[in-house]
């Protein structure tokens, strides 16, 4: 088989890029090691920046998001027994869209199927070849046979655990990493959310987040230790803990429904530089991870796609390399700003096992300053709604 762009990974990065390319008449094949059902069963992000909303619109897959998604104009921070709302819209003129990553993925998969572009699922042993030479290609195994896809360029959209970044020689890549000493235990339940906007809480017992997927589906998280055993967390125990971490007036309307998804996610900051090696371009989680506290992971994947798509259009349309040559530098500039924001939100809102009294006082002062100062609230709001592309 031959195509212009071989895309490894059918998550949001790969699907977004694939659809933009297909719409622009640039041939592409998406290949994923997982099944379609498995990909659609993953519960992840819930908050979309305007940039991501705009890209989804550009693919033509944004219609259901506008119908079912919830535009939010503010978020609340709860600490010290009180709750303070940050007026995102009043401070920045921008909103965020609450719409699940699972739904984004489903909409993009439906669009791809309708446009007739090829996706290969359950591909085993995907290997990248000669991306530093002049015959880049991919091989994979399916039904006992090895297949080959020749291409001009490869987009590595295969997430943090994917094969693309690992295929780059160690000497050619520099990594930056920070691992946090806790995780998030999250549940999904079909009950109305506790509040019509998200609440991020810092409490002596640990961080908590009240989020949602719709007006009838809630997503709740609590900070937990990394050795926590999920089977020991009954729904009752989870709700008791969540309630204790919220100010009384917020906890009061909590409706406790049975969870139908429960998982623990570790928190990590990670960046690989550069994001391009010859004909291979790393996109989204394949190149960088943020802790979810800033709601930035999926949104960063979208800005990478934006920069790469511009470069690819120039490359295939105008035979110019300037866009793809600039990709890594342009993407990394925005990546590092989102890394900084996600790190600072994580540091400000969580309880660290080894925090001394001084650091705790500084954290309290930071939260207090943040909600009292218009300048500090604006800085948070500007980052939360998303920095410009
Ligand atoms: P994905 O979604 O991991 O997709 C990668 C795809 O590549 C496939 N793959 C392979 N295919 C072929 N060969 C291989 N060797 C392969 N290895 C892997 C996989 O099967 C998969 O289908 O990466 P992508 O597309 O870059 O998307 C990134 C986002 O998924 C991620 O950044 C967000 O989910 C992060 N995130 C959030 N981001 C936000 O912007 N807002 C949020 O509110 C938000 N909340 C979250 C989050 C992530 C979370 N978890 C579980 C990590 C909340 C949580 C709890
Ligand atoms: C979510 O709804 O899953 C979610 C929302 C905000 C975050 C992280 C996750 O910061």
Looking up tokens 């920070």 gives: 178
Say what the alpha-carbon torsion angle 309, 310, 312, 317 is, to the nearest 10 degrees. Answer: 130
pLDDT score of 291 = 98
pLDDT score of 43 = 86
Strands (E), 55-206: 70-72, 75-79, 82-86, 96-98, 118-120, 124-129, 137-142, 145-150, 153-156, 174-189, 199-202
Residue 79 lies in a domain: no
Say yes or no: 205 and 332 in one domain. Answer: no
Instruction: Write out residues with Cβ below 6 Å of ligand 1.
Output: 8-14, 31-34, 39, 44-47, 101, 126, 157-159, 161-163, 184, 186, 265, 284-285, 292, 295-299, 301
pLDDT score of 45 = 84
Give me the CATH number covering residue 17: 3.50.50.60
Closest CA to ligand 2's atom 6? 295
Say yes or no: 147 and 218 in one domain. Answer: no
* Residues 6+ positions from 118 with CB-CB distance below 8 Å: 3, 29, 30
Beta carbons within 10 angstroms of residue 368's beta carbon: 14
Q: What is the CA radius of gyration of the chain?
A: 21
* Residues recognised as catalytic: 72, 200, 292, 296, 384
Say yes or no: 305 and 159 in one domain. Answer: yes
Beta carbons within 10 angstroms of residue 196's beta carbon: 12
Say yes or no: 281 and 159 in one domain. Answer: yes
Query: What CA–CA distance (Å, rounded) separates 340 from 55?
Result: 24
Residue 77 lies in a domain: no
Q: 22-42 burial by CB neighbour count: b if 16+ within 10 A, else e?
A: beeebebbbbbbbebeebeee
pLDDT score of 189 = 97
Model confidence over 1-23: pLDDT tens digits? 999 999 999 999 999 999 999 99
Residue 88 lies in a domain: no
pLDDT score of 354 = 87
Say yes or no: 107 and 247 in one domain. Answer: no
What ranges in the chain are assigned the alpha helix state H?
Answer: 12-23, 36-40, 50-59, 63-68, 88-92, 101-115, 235-244, 248-251, 297-317, 322-349, 357-372, 374-385
Q: Which atom of ligand 1 is nearest to the CA of 46?
A: 43
Give me the CATH number covering residue 239: 3.30.9.10
DSSP state letters, 266-296: EEEEEEEE-SEETTEEE-GGGTEE--GGGS-
Query: What CA–CA distance (Å, rounded) separates 357 from 142?
Result: 57
| HSE value, Cβ hemisphere, 13 Å, CA-based, for 341 | 23
Residue 132 lies in a domain: yes
Residue 85 lies in a domain: no
Residue 233 lies in a domain: yes
165 upstream amide cis, omega within 30 of 0: no
Say yes or no: 221 and 315 in one domain. Answer: no
Say yes or no: 365 and 303 in one domain. Answer: no
Query: What CA–CA distance (Å, rounded) separates 339 from 325?
Result: 23
Centroid of ligand 2 to alpha carbon of 82 (angstroms): 21
Say yes or no: 208 and 334 in one domain. Answer: no
Sign for the CA dihedral angle at 384, 182, 185, 77 comes to negative
Centroid of ligand 1 to alpha carbon of 230 (angstroms): 21
Residue 36 lies in a domain: yes
Q: 151-190 burial by CB neighbour count: b if 16+ within 10 A, else e?
A: bbbbbbbbbeebbbbebbeeeebeeeeeebebbbbbbbbe
**Partners of residue 222 on adjacent β-strands:** 185, 208
Q: Closest-lying ligand to the alpha carbon of 213?
A: 2
- ∠ CA 354-357-360, nearest 5°, is 80
- Low-confidence residues of the chain: pLDDT under 70: none
Say yes or no: 137 and 275 in one domain. Answer: yes
Q: Are 43 and 105 in contact (CB under 8 A)?
A: no
Centroid of ligand 2 to alpha carbon of 373 (angstroms): 25
Centroid of ligand 1 to alpha carbon of 286 (angstroms): 9
Q: Tokens in use for 213? A: 């997927």
Say yes or no: 300 and 165 in one domain. Answer: yes
Model confidence over 262-295: pLDDT tens digits? 999 999 999 999 999 999 999 999 999 999 999 9
| Total number of domains in the chain | 2
Residue 231 lies in a domain: yes
Host domain of residue 56: 5-71+97-176+268-346
Q: Are strands 199-202 and 75-79 parallel, antiparallel or unpaired?
A: parallel
Q: Which atom of ligand 1 is nearest to the CA of 164?
A: 15
Query: What CA–CA distance (Å, rounded) separates 175 from 177?
Result: 7
Say yes or no: 197 and 294 in one domain. Answer: no
Say yes or no: 290 and 320 in one domain. Answer: yes
């Amino acid at each position: 088989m031959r195509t212009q762009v071989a895309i490894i990974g059918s998550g949001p990065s790969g699907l977004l890029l694939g659809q933009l390319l297909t719409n622009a008449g640039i041939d592409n094949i998406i290949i994923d090691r997982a099944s379609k059902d498995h990909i659609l069963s993953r519960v992840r992000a819930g908050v979309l920046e305007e940039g991501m909303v705009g890209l989804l619109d550009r693919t033509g897959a944004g219609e259901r998001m506008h119908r079912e998604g919830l535009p939010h104009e503010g978020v609340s921070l709860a600490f010290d027994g009180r709750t303070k709302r940050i007026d995102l819209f009043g401070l920045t003129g921008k909103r965020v869209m609450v719409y699940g990553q699972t739904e984004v993925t489903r909409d993009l998969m439906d669009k791809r199927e309708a446009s007739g572009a090829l996706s290969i699922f359950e591909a085993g042993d995907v290997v990248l070849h000669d991306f530093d030479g002049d015959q880049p290609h991919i091989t994979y195994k399916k039904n006992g046979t090895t297949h080959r896809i020749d291409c001009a360029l490869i987009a590595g959209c295969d997430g943090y655990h994917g094969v693309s970044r690992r295929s780059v020689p160690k000497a050619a890549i520099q990594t930056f990493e920070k691992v946090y000493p806790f995780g998030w235990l999250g549940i999904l339940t079909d009950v109305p959310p506790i509040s019509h906007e998200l609440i991020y809480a810092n409490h002596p017992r640990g961080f908590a987040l009240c989020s949602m997927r719709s007006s009838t589906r809630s997503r709740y998280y609590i900070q937990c230790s990394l050795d926590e055993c999920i089977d020991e967390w009954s729904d009752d125990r989870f709700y008791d803990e969540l309630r204790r971490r919220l100010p009384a007036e917020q906890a009061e309307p909590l409706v406790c429904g049975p969870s139908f998804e429960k998982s623990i996610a570790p928190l990590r900051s990670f960046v690989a530089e550069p994001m391009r090696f010859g004909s291979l371009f790393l996109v989204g989680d394949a190149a960088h991870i943020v802790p979810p506290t800033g709601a930035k992971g999926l949104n960063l994947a979208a800005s990478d796609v934006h920069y790469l798509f511009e470069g690819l259009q120039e490359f295939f349309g105008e035979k110019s390399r300037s866009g793809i040559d600039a990709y890594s530098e342009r993407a990394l500039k925005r990546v590092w700003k989102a890394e900084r924001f996600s790190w600072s939100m994580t540091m400000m809102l969580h309880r660290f096992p080894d925090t001394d009294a001084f650091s705790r006082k500084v954290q309290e002062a930071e939260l207090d300053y943040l909600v009292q100062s218009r300048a500090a609230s604006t800085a948070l709001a500007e980052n939360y709604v998303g920095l410009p592309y």
